[in-house]
Amino acid sequence: GIQVEQSPPDLILQEGANSTLRCNFSDSVNNLQWFHQNPWGQLINLFYIPSGTKQNGRLSATTVATERYSLLYISSSQTTDSGVYFCAANYGGSQGNLIFGKGTKLSVKP
Amino acid sequence: ETGVTQTPRHLVMGMTNKKSLKCEQHLGHNAMYWYKQSAKKPLELMFVYNFKEQTENNSVPSRFSPECPNSSHLFLHLHTLQPEDSALYLCASSREGAGGSGANVLTFGAGSRLTVL
C-alpha cells in the first residue's frame, strides 16, 4: 500500500543547532504538507509543498517529487521547536485526504 | 487559536454511553474532516465533508456517526464504543477546490481526547 516514511524517528538537539528531517513517499503525490504538533496536541501546518522549495523564517522545506522525498530544515533551533513533525501526502480523492507518516519527535534542550 | 474550535477537549465515557464531539470553523472553509490519532498508529482520516456532503468514509465502524449540518459545523456522535477507541480526535478544515494561496491547506483544531472505560 501507499506509505509515508519519516526519519529519524527521534532527534535531540542543543538549542541553536540545525537539523534536517526527511520524508519518503511511495508513489506520486498530489500534494504534500508538513505539520508540527506541540506537546499539547495542537497540529499546525508548516508548509504546503507538492514540489519545489519554500522558506518561512527559520524553517524551510524542499520536495523533489520525481525522487519521492521531502526535507524539512530547521535552523538555529529553539526550545519552542520541540514537538512532533509530521509529513502527510495526498494521493487522490479529497485534497485533505492525507496519509500521515509516523512523525519525527524533536526535543530541543536549552 | 487556529480558527477551528473543538469541544469538549477531554471526554471520559463508558462503553454504553452516547456522547458527541463538536467542531466549529470560523475560516470560511468548505471542507471539514475528522482524523483519529491513536497512541500507536499514525494519524488516520475518518470522514470528509465538502459543502456539508459526505465525500469520504474511510471504513469507519458504525459506532462513529458523523453529522455536518452546514459548512461551519461538524459533529461526531459516539455510541457503544470500545476501549481501543480511546484516542485524540482531531477536526480539520480546508478551502478545497479553489486555487490561490492557502487552498487545500489543512487547519486543525486542538483535538478532543477521548477515554473509553
List chain A pLDDT tens, one digit each, 110 residues.
778 999 999 999 999 999 999 999 988 888 899 999 998 899 999 999 999 999 999 999 999 999 999 999 999 999 999 999 999 999 887 878 899 999 999 999 99
> Measuring CA to CA, which residue among A5, A27, A21, A20 is closest to residue A88?
A5
Q: What is the pLDDT of residues B62-111, one digit of tens each?
A: 999 999 999 999 999 999 999 999 999 999 999 887 666 667 889 999 99
Look at B48 and A96 and tell me if their CB atoms are within 8 Å.
yes
Compute the nearest-CA separation of B80 from chain A (Å).
26
Look at B45 and A97 and tell me if their CB atoms are within 8 Å.
yes
Residues B11 and B115 sit within 8 Å (Cβ to Cβ): yes
Q: What is the pLDDT of residues B22-73, one digit of tens each?
A: 999 999 999 999 999 998 888 999 999 998 888 888 889 999 999 999 999 9
Backbone φ/ψ region at A78: left (φ over 0), alpha (ψ -120 to 50), beta: beta
Backbone φ/ψ region at A81: left (φ over 0), alpha (ψ -120 to 50), beta: alpha
CB-based contact, B25 to chain A, within 8 Å: no
| Residues from chain B contacting residue A96 (CB–CB below 8 Å) | 31, 33, 45, 48, 92, 94, 96, 104, 106
Interfacial B residues in 57-116 facing A (CB < 8 Å): 88, 90, 92, 94, 96-97, 102-108, 110-111, 113
Q: What is the largest CA-CA distance in chain A?
A: 43
> Measuring CA to CA, which residue among B20, B2, B14 is closest to residue B89?
B20
- What's the DSSP call for residue A38? -
Q: Angle at CA A21, nearest 5°, toward A81 and A18?
A: 55
